[in-house]
Structure 1
């Protein structure tokens, strides 16, 4: 069993309360919301079979919305600009839509690999 500091910190209420202001400042500094992007839009799907499969499994409406956001951000960036402030993504709209699918697909890939090699898989 391995220790994961990020997992432990994420589930500890005091640590989460202490780190939340820093996390919010980091998100503001990253600036992706000024382009109308969600955090999961920043995950590149080229060359990673797990991410490609997760993107393929997105519902059609979510996949089309992702493509629109990426193209809109690219167009605005080419103009050396950002979206008008009323079009910036609000924090409550920045939900993880791809990360859960990536975790699911990664688990399936690990199970498939373990099945092919005859090893046991430990589920987290």
Structure 2
């Protein structure tokens, strides 16, 4: 967890530069119909892979559909229509709670000296 001074500094209500970045990021995500949690790569971090595996199938399917749609729009050099962009909720989280739980479990296992629940395999 970040210190309280950093949380205040990164709060969009207190820092106009953070608010500007938040607005620009929101616009980019709405253009493609993505959510911020869709940007996490399960191949990069095994905690994310485990958190995605624990989520309900409907949530993971919706994530995959959003990613496919975004790639299709990007390849076509197009954006979502304005009426659909207005319906998007780019900062509504679906992964953060499960990711926090997975990280907490991993930290507990490491503190107890147990073997990792999952390991990166070398191909």
Could you say which TM-score interval applies, normalised by the shorter chain?
Answer: 0.7 to 0.9
Residue of structure 2 in register with 1:81 after alignment = 78
Out of 53, 56, 70, the position equivalent to 2:53 is: 56
The count of aligned residue pairs is 111
SS in 2 for 1:97: coil
Select the residue among 86, 92, 96 that pairs with 2:93.
96
| 2:34 is the counterpart of 1:37 | yes
| Maintained 8 Å contact 1:38/1:89 | no
- Partner of 2:104, secondary structure, is helix
Q: Distance in 1 between the 2:36 and 2:6 partners?
A: 20
Q: Secondary structure at the match of 1:4?
A: coil
1:67 corresponds in structure 2 to 64
Higher helix proportion, which one?
1
Instruction: In structure 1, list runs of 5 or more residues that go unmatched.
Output: 118-124
> How far 1:93 sits from its partner (Å)?
6.0
